[in-house]
Structures are given as structure tokens and as C-alpha cells.
Amino acid sequence: MTRPSLSLLALLLTSPAFAQWPEPKLTVVSPSGAQAGTSVSILATGSDLEDADLQFFHPGFVAIRDAKDPKKWSVEISKNVPPGCYDARFAGKNGVSNPRRFEVGSLPETEALPKAVTKQEAQEITLPSVVRGSVPKQGMLWFKMTAVRGQELVFDCHANSLDSRLEPALSLFDTQGRELAGVRNKPLRWTPETDATLWLSLRDFINNGGNEHFFRLYAGSPGELKKAEAPALPLFWPPPAPSFVEQEPNDGAKAQPIVPPVEIAGEFYPTRDVDAFKFEAKKGDVWWMEVYSERFGVPTHPRLVVERLSSDKEGKQTAQDAILLEDAPPFAGDADFNGQHFDPSGRFEAKEEGTYRVQVRDINNAIEPSHARRYQLSIRKPGPDFALVAAVLTPTPNKTFKDYTGAAIQVRAANIRPAQVFPLRVLALRRDGFEGAISLEAFDLPPGLTAEPSIIGLKQTEGTLLLRAAVGAAPWSGSIRITGTSLVGGAQRKHAARASTPVWESTVTQFIEPPRSRFMDAMVCAIVDDAPFGDTLLAEREAADVGATEKVKFRLKVDHKSGEAAPVKVKVMGLAGLEKAKETEIAIKDASAEYEVDLAPLKLLPGDYTVWFRGEQKVKREVKGKASEMNVVLCSNSLSLKIKETQKP
């Protein structure tokens, strides 16, 4: 077990906790999927799920609560629901929960037998089929099947894509007990040389288990499983339809001639395959090169090299490296959104006229040949653009991937109470050098819920969209849309944000896992009226236009509508570099304070930005019929800030 540092442990133990009003949290839906056109009984586990309804983000589901057991639901799935994963969540008097994935398939399904923990008690399965269940702790499940000579078998264990903690390890055995093949976190493929009976074992790679280690095991031939597959997840900037398919042989001296711009579909096949393409370029030509592969959901680690080709006096061809491109995602990723991937991309500029060769290969493709290792090579003119990702901003920021040792990860939904201002974090993924400011808006809001004006400034990688619930806002739950608008190449461009969430919570007392996050089907919010916010934090600026090296003053006020008049500790938010900004306290006696920010260290470019203030207040509230002392987070209104052009002497 990894031990957290003493400084981090002290920080987490002394940091004030967010107000602990009841808030639905969904841990497991079991089973985690079913066949389209069937009905299934689901058991939901979590907290504060009472008086809440099970909901799916697709109209093809009907969920009915069990009259005898409130934790059980009967779910009917329309035969028209396409194969794929869908968000399930609870919504009720306590607000909305985090989502859990529920997978719909097209193959017959069976439940894994709890007693099948030895080879002698192996569960017999027919092919093709899906087996669903959970792996026992420090144990394994066994399955038995009949194999036909020459017919390739594929065993694909879905776990990570279902929000499971399971890291599946599969092993295939013959009648003599010999291990024929074994894999971890990928499909197992085997072609029997004779008709035979085979045994398959499934366990967690580090021998964990329990109801949070659930799975759906797909078993059958490649063609049968292909029919049951869901379409690949869309990318932010999906490549256009391929212009053509690579033509083998095309390695080394046999490089395939191309004329950019071009889109090429190919495969890293067979083992150690290197595909090469050559083109002519003039001095100063600029191309953006990008490989799409791991983002298609295949376990590849592509590498791209551009070389300049030339010939010596004897006509012998030589190659000189011009550029090496490795993984370069537009946003490296953190606990709220995993933007990491291994697909290389980058800008290439021809330093001189001549013939250039592009070579692509998969550095993971050394052992097992597979046609599944597909890729798409895009060579295009630079196209600046942006994409947005929205996530709930937790009271104590979730730690980044670099800092996951000892990290405390919170999984929260956007549950907003009357008179509360609630922050949503919006990340900006910038493409091909785009640096412009992005204006944020929210749509599909119910009456009583509004969004504060917000701008992600020049070169900034994230901003905050503040949702404000009016004092008399009525209870509500539903999805909202968040969009960003900017000028790209002189034309206005608008994009919708995709919603993201961490998958599992963690604390310093648990075994520390690297943070996992995934996209949600939608950003779902709720207005909950059980505990209205009594106090509000207001912010005013001294001047709207300031210089990049100046200091700007703010006036902060607390409106103590509750009558409690508790002190509020306040800090400025909204710009990169403010993480270490000072904190000030607004005392009871005057309920106001001045706050000064030195802009010089931030090195802001001229343009528009948005700032806001976050306050913490210790109050007494009634929770589940008991008077409790807790820390409440107050968010101010947003303030626009314009950085002036520097006056030349």
C-alpha cells in the first residue's frame, strides 16, 4: 500500500469538509447489464437513495420499484435499445446521484454461479453468450465449454467500461490442466487444433473481489461478438471518412506514395508492422500530423516518425529524421477528466524542398498479431479549434494524475439548494495552437436556475460556470447543456461541452488507486429544497479594466440572511496561478472586507477573464433531524476582468 506524505495527510485531515446534507450516492447496480428486449431484476447499493427513482438516460428503459424491497427494481429494456453503455442514476427528494454504467447487449445472458470457484465446479456455458456477475475476493470463477477444431474463440471481459473495480485476468486450460493462454485487461483469443473441452478462469489481477468487482464476460467467435459490439465512442475531433486504405507492402523502401492532405486507414499487422508513406513538400510547407488508434479503444501505443529522403552520388537512398511525434494530448488529464492517450500528434514544417517519409508503428505490437490494432493517419493543414469538458467542482479539488498518491477523490453530482451558487468546472482543450477566449453559457435550465456570465480567457485551460438557484426555486432534476463560443479564424464557432466524472471515491485510509474518470451521457443537475442556503457571498471589483502588471481590489460582502452571522474565510478563484492566493476572513462585526490581487505573477494576455470568490463558513444545520456543526462552501457571483493593452512608451 502506498503511504501518503505527512504534509498531504495533514492537509486532508485539516481541510474543512463540505456540508453533509443527504446526497444520493450510487455504488453498484447489479447486474450491470442485460440483453435488449428482456426484463431484469436490479439490486442497487449506495447511500441516501430512499424515496428516489431509478432513471436511465435513454427512453427504452422502464424501471419499477419492488414493492417488498426498496433496493430492488424490475427494469424492462426495449428490444430497440442499441448495444452499448447507458448511464443509470437515482433522483429524488435528496437530489440526483452520480451515474453508473449499464450495458445492453444482443446475446443471451446467464448469471455467474457463486459456487463455480473451482475447476471441478466450473459453470458450463454455451457459445455465444454473456455471463454476468462478480468475482469473489481472493478467489476466481471457472467456466467450461466445448470447442470446435479450427474455430477461433474470443473471451472478452467487460469491467472498466462498466465502472467496475475489477482488473480482469483470464486463463484458458485444456483437459490436462495445461494453461493454453492468459491475458490481462484484454480479450483472450484461441483457435483449438482439435475438438475439445476447455476451461476458462477469471480473477482480479491483484486478487481483490466483491460486489464492486463486477463483470460481463462475452464468449463466442469473433464474428458473433462483432455483432454484439457497441459503436466506438465519438472523439472530440473525429477524422473524416478515410480517403483510402493502406496498401501492403508499404514498409521502408516500399513506402506508399501519397499527396497531402490525406486520411489513411490502416492496421498494425502483423507483429512489428511498420507502415510507411512518402510525399513531396516544398520548403515552408506546414502540415499537422495525427494518429488515431488508442482513442478507438484498442490497446496500442503508436509512434510516428517523419524523415527526409535523399540519394547519394551512387543513387543509394538515405533517410534523415526530421521529427518524432509521440503522445501529445491537448489536455493531459486529471481526476475529473482523463485526457491522456498514446496517440501522437504535432506540427511538421518542411525545412527544405524534397521527399519526406512518414512511418507509423505500434510499440506494443511485439507478441500477438491482431487485426484489431487499427489506426487512422491524418495529414492535414492546421485547423485551430477547441473542445470543452464539464465536471462538478468538488469542495476540496480532486488531485491530478501526477499527485494521485494519497489523493482524496470525491464523486459528486450537481445538487443545488435555493440561494446557493454552485460551481461547475469547464476544461478547454485547445487544438492546433488555438489560444482565443471562450464565452460559456448554459441552456435547458429550469425556472429559478440561472448561470453567471463566464469567460475562459486567452490561453487559459479551464474556467468556472456558476449556477445560481433563486431563493424560491422549486425542486427539479434534469440535464442541462453547456456551450462555449469563440472566434476561430475570424468566424464564430460554438461547441457543446461533454460531461465527465470520477468513477470511484478514495481517501487516505484506503488502498490508493490511480484516479479514474469517464464521460457521462449528460450533465445532470437537481434543485433540492431541504436546506436552503441562508447566507450569500457578494463580490464587487474596484475597476473593470486593469493592466497585466497592476493590482486589482475587490470588495467582498456577506449577506447574513440566516441571522447566524458566522465568519467566512474567502479566497479568489478563476485564473491559472491563483492556487496559492491568500485567504482573508470576513468577520461577524462588519460582514465585509477588501481583497487585493497582484496580477503581475499571472502574466495574463490582454483580453477578457472571469474571477469569483470561494468562502467557507462553519454553521449549525439540521441534518436528518439532528442539529449538526458543519462547513458550508459559499460561492460568490462572477466578475468580468479586462486586461488592457500595454501602452508603448
pLDDT band at 592; cut points 50, 70, 90 = confident
The dihedrals phi and psi of 112, each to the nearest 5 degrees, come to -70, 135
Every domain of the chain and the residues it spans: 109-228, 244-380
What's phi and psi for 393, nearest 5 deg? -85, 110
CB-side neighbour CA atoms (13 Å) of 343:
23
Query: Residues 77-97: what's their mean pLDDT?
Result: 95
Stretch among 14-23, 269-278, 312-321 having the lowest mean pLDDT: 14-23
- Tell me: cis bond preceding 260? Omega within 30 of 0 counts: no
Mean pLDDT rounded to a whole number for the chain? 87
Predicted local confidence at residue 307, as pLDDT: 93
Question: Which CATH number is 244-380's, of 3.40.50.620, 1.10.3210.10, 2.60.120.380, 3.40.720.10?
Answer: 2.60.120.380
pLDDT attached to residue 391: 96
631 pLDDT higher than 70: yes
pLDDT for res 14: 36
pLDDT band of 12, cuts 50, 70, 90: very low
Q: Which three cell numbers stand for residue 91?
A: 433522483
Nearest alpha carbon to residue 520 among 146, 89, 216: 89
Closest C-alpha among 113, 159, 156, 155 to residue 136: 113
Give 233's pLDDT tier (boundaries 50, 70, 90).
low
The C-alpha atoms of residue 123 and residue 110 are separated, in whole angstroms, by 10
Q: What is the pLDDT of residue 402?
A: 55
- Residue 346, CB half-sphere, CA atoms under 13 Å: how many? 17
Task: Calculate what percentage of the chain has a pLDDT beyond 70.
Answer: 90
Between 325 and 280, whose confidence is greater? 280
Q: pLDDT higher for 10 or 319?
A: 319
Helix-strand-coil split of the chain, %, nearest 5: 5, 50, 45
Write out the three cell numbers for 603: 502574466
Q: Is the pLDDT of residue 269 over 60?
A: yes
| Strand duo 385-392 + 491-502: pairing | parallel
pLDDT at 562 over 80: no
For a pLDDT cut of 90, what percent of the chain falls above it? Answer: 63
What mean pLDDT comes out for the span 57-84?
Answer: 93
Which strand (E) or helix (H) includes residue 520?
none
Averaged over 375-381, what is the pLDDT?
91
CATH number of 109-228: 2.60.120.380
> Residue 401 above 60 pLDDT?
no
User: 130 by DSSP, 3-state: which?
Assistant: strand
| Secondary structure element (H or E) that encloses residue 594, with its range | strand 592-598
Average pLDDT over every residue of 188-197 = 93
- Does 17 score more than 50 pLDDT? no
Fold equal for 109-228 and 244-380: yes
pLDDT at 603: 92
Paired with 189 in beta bridges are 154
Q: Regarding beta strands 262-267 and 462-469, do their DSSP bridges make them parallel or antiparallel, or are they unpaired? A: unpaired
Q: pLDDT grade, residue 321 (50/70/90)? A: confident
Q: Over 90: is that where the pLDDT of 153 sits?
A: yes
More confident: 280 or 511: 280
b/e map of 174-206 (b: 16 or more CB within 10 Å)? eeeeeeeeebeeebbbeebeeeeebbbbbbbee
Question: What's the average model confidence in pLDDT over 252-276?
Answer: 92
